[in-house]
Amino acid sequence: MKKYSFYLVTLLGSVLFLSGCGDQNGNASSNGALASNNAEKVYVAPGEHDEFYAFMSGGYSGNVTVYGLPSGRMFKEIPVFSQFPTNGYGYSEETKPMLETSFGFIPNDDSHHPDISQTNGELDGRWLFINGNNTPRIARIDLKTFETAEIIEVPNSAGNHSSSYITENSEYVVAGTRFSVPIPQRDMPIKDYKGNFKGALSFISVAPETGHMDIKFQLIMPGFNYDLSHPGRGKSHGWFFFTTYNTEEANSLLEVNASQNDKDFIAAVNWKKIEEYVENGGGTMVPANYTHNLYSDETHSATSTMKKEVLTVDPTKVPGAVFFMPTPKSPHGVDVNPTGDYIIGNGKLSADLTVFSFDKMIAAIDGKKYDGEAYGLPILKFEDVLAGQVKSGGLGPLHTEFDGKGNAYTTFFISSEVVKWKVGTWEVIDRKPTFYSVGHCMIPGGNSAKPFGKYLISLNKITKDRYLPTGPELEHSAQLYDITGDKMELIYDFPTHGEPHYAAAIPASILAPKSQKIYKLAENEHPFATKSVSDARVVRDGNVVHVYMAMIRSHFTPDNIEGIKVGDKVYFHITNHEQDFDVPHGFMMIGATNSGLLIMPGQTKTTVWEPKQEGVWPFYCTDFCSALHQEMQGYVRVSPASSNIDLSWSLGE
Amino acid sequence: MKKASILMIIGSLCLLGLFKFPLWNIMLGAPQYPDPLGMNIHITGIQGVSEFDLQNIDGLNHYIGMKTIPKADEMWEFKAFPIVIISMSVLGVLLGLLGFVGKVDYRYFLGWFILMSILGVMGMYDFNVWLTDYGSNLDPHAIIKVTNEDGTPMTYKPPLFGYKKLLNFNVSSMPALGAWAMFLGMSLTVVAFLVGWKSKRSPSS
Ligand SMILES: [Cu+2]
B63 with A628: Cβ contact below 8 A: yes
Helices (H), A250-371: 254-257, 271-279, 358-366
Q: How many A from CA of A621 to the centre of ligand 1?
A: 5
pLDDT of residue A601: 97
Q: How many A from CA of A176 to the centre of ligand 1?
A: 45
Is some CB atom of chain A closer than 8 A to the CB atom of B162? no
Residue A348 pLDDT more than 90? no
Give the range with max mean pLDDT: A253-257, A607-611, B104-108: A607-611
pLDDT of residue A263: 86
Tell which wins on pLDDT, A34 or B168.
Answer: B168
What's the gap in Å between the CA of A509 and the closest CA on chain B? 18
Q: How many A from CA of A552 to the centre of ligand 1?
A: 7
Among residues B128, B157, B148, the alpha carbon closest in space to that of B61 is found at B157
Distance CA A380, CA A364 (A): 7
Chain A residue closest in CA terms to B52: A579
C-alpha to C-alpha distances, A177 to A200, A256, B154, nearest whole angstrom? 6, 21, 69
Distance CA A231, CA A245 (A): 19
Residue A2 pLDDT more than 90? no
Q: What angle do CA B135, B137, B143 make, to 5 degrees?
A: 85
ipTM for the whole predicted complex goes beyond 0.85? no
Residue B204 pLDDT more than 60? no
pLDDT of residue B141: 85
Q: How many A from CA of B55 to the centre of ligand 1?
A: 17
Residue A365 pLDDT more than 60? yes
Distance CA A524, CA A80 (A): 23
Distance CA A122, CA A447 (A): 9
Is some CB atom of chain A closer than 8 A to the CB atom of B31? no
A627 with B52: Cβ contact below 8 A: no
pLDDT of residue B163: 93
Cβ contacts of residue A283 below 8 Å, gap of 6+? A217, A277, A311, A312, A313
H or E element: which one contains A222?
strand A213-222
Q: Residues A231, A234, A235, A239: what is their CA dihedral angle, to the nearest 10 degrees?
A: 20
Tell which wins on pLDDT, A604 or A261.
Answer: A604
Q: How far is CA A520 from the centre of its chain?
A: 28
Cβ contacts of residue B129 below 8 Å, gap of 6+? none
What is the b/e burial string over B53-88, where b = at least 16 CB atoms within 10 angstroms of the residue's CB? bbbbbebbbbbbbbeebeeeeeeebbeebeebbeeb
Among residues A614, A617, A571, the alpha carbon closest in space to that of A591 is found at A617
Residue A16 pLDDT more than 80? no
A553 with B59: Cβ contact below 8 A: yes
Is some CB atom of chain A closer than 8 A to the CB atom of B50? no
pLDDT of residue A1: 39
Residue among B35, B59, B63 whose CB faces A552 most closely: B59
Dihedrals φ, ψ of A206, to 5°?
-120, 115
Residue A585 pLDDT more than 60? yes
H or E element: which one contains B80?
helix B77-100
A579 with B52: Cβ contact below 8 A: yes
Kindly list the residues from chain A whose CB atom is less than 8 angstroms away from the CB atom of residue B63.
626-628
Distance CA A138, CA A153 (A): 6
What number is the average pLDDT over the span A617-632?
A: 93
SS3 A107: coil
Kindly list the residues from chain A whose CB atom is less than 8 angstroms away from the CB atom of residue B59.
552-553, 578, 580
Is some CB atom of chain B closer than 8 A to the CB atom of A533? no
Q: What angle do CA A194, A198, A200 make, to 5 degrees?
A: 155
Residue-wise pLDDT tens digits, A429-448: 999 999 999 999 999 998 89
Antiparallel, parallel or unpaired: β A455-460 and A476-482? antiparallel
What number is the average pLDDT over the span A277-302?
A: 97
Strands of A487-632, DSSP E: 489-496, 503-507, 537-541, 544-552, 555-557, 560-565, 569-576, 585-589, 597-599, 604-609, 615-620
Q: How many A from CA of A541 to the centre of ligand 1?
A: 29
Is some CB atom of chain B closer than 8 A to the CB atom of A627? yes
Distance CA A257, CA A572 (A): 56
Cβ contacts of residue A472 below 8 Å, gap of 6+? none
What does the DSSP 8-state code read for residue A59? Answer: B
Please, which residues bridge with residue A65 across strands?
Answer: A56, A77
pLDDT of residue A35: 54
Is some CB atom of chain A closer than 8 A to the CB atom of B144? yes
Chain A residue closest in CA terms to B33: A581
Dihedrals φ, ψ of A124, to 5°?
-110, -10
For chain B, count helices (H), then strands (E): 5, 5
* Lowest mean pLDDT segment, chosen from A103-107, A153-157, A294-298, A551-555: A551-555
Q: What is the 3-state secondary structure (H, E, C) of A142-193?
A: ECCCCEEEEEEECCCCCCEEEEEEECCCCCEEEEEECCCECCCCCCCCHHHC
Residue A142 CB burial class (10 angstroms; 0-12, 13-18, ≥19): middle
For chain A, count helices (H), then strands (E): 7, 45
Residue A591 pLDDT more than 90? yes
Residue-wise pLDDT tens digits, A212-237: 999 999 999 999 999 999 999 999 99
What is the b/e burial string over B100-123, where b = at least 16 CB atoms within 10 angstroms of the residue's CB? beeebebebbbebbeebeeebeeb
* Lowest mean pLDDT segment, chosen from A266-270, A532-536, B128-132, B139-143: B139-143
Chain A residue closest in CA terms to B60: A553
Residue-wise pLDDT tens digits, A80-137: 999 999 999 999 999 999 999 999 999 999 999 999 999 999 999 999 999 999 999 9
Residue among B55, B143, B144 whose CB faces A579 most closely: B55
Q: How many CB atoms lie within 10 A of CB A332?
A: 21
Cβ contacts of residue B180 below 8 Å, gap of 6+? none
Among residues B14, B3, B192, the alpha carbon closest in space to that of B108 is found at B192
A315 preceded by cis ω (within 30°)? Answer: no
Is some CB atom of chain A closer than 8 A to the CB atom of B52? yes
Residue-wise pLDDT tens digits, A243-288: 999 998 989 888 888 778 888 999 999 999 999 999 999 999 999 9
What's the gap in Å between the CA of B22 and the closest CA on chain A? 23
What's the gap in Å between the CA of B33 and the closest CA on chain A? 9
Residue-wise pLDDT tens digits, A166-195: 999 999 999 999 999 999 999 999 999 999
What's the gap in Å between the CA of B56 and the closest CA on chain A? 7
Residue A22 pLDDT more than 50? no
Cβ contacts of residue A585 below 8 Å, gap of 6+? A551, A552, A553, A576, A578, A598, A599, A621, A623, A625, A632
Is some CB atom of chain A closer than 8 A to the CB atom of B145? no
Residue A314 pLDDT more than 70? yes
What does the DSSP 8-state code read for residue B58? Answer: H
Dihedrals φ, ψ of A274, to 5°?
-70, -35
Is some CB atom of chain B closer than 8 A to the CB atom of A335? no
Q: How many A from CA of A631 to the centre of ligand 1?
A: 9
Q: How many CB atoms lie within 10 A of CB B174?
A: 14
What is the side-by-side strand order in the sheet with A597-599? A597-599, A585-589, A615-620, A633-639, A560-565, A648-650
Dihedrals φ, ψ of A431, to 5°?
-150, 140
What's the gap in Å between the CA of B10 and the closest CA on chain A? 41
Sign of CA dihedral B109, B110, B111, B117: positive
Distance CA A270, CA A268 (A): 7
C-alpha to C-alpha distances, A651 to A131, A536, B63, nearest whole angstrom? 46, 10, 17
Residue A558 pLDDT more than 90? yes
Mean pLDDT across chain A: 92
Chain A residue closest in CA terms to B31: A47
Residue A28 pLDDT more than 70? no
Interface of A with B in 462-501 (CB under 8 A): none
Distance CA A117, CA A211 (A): 9
A580 with B52: Cβ contact below 8 A: yes
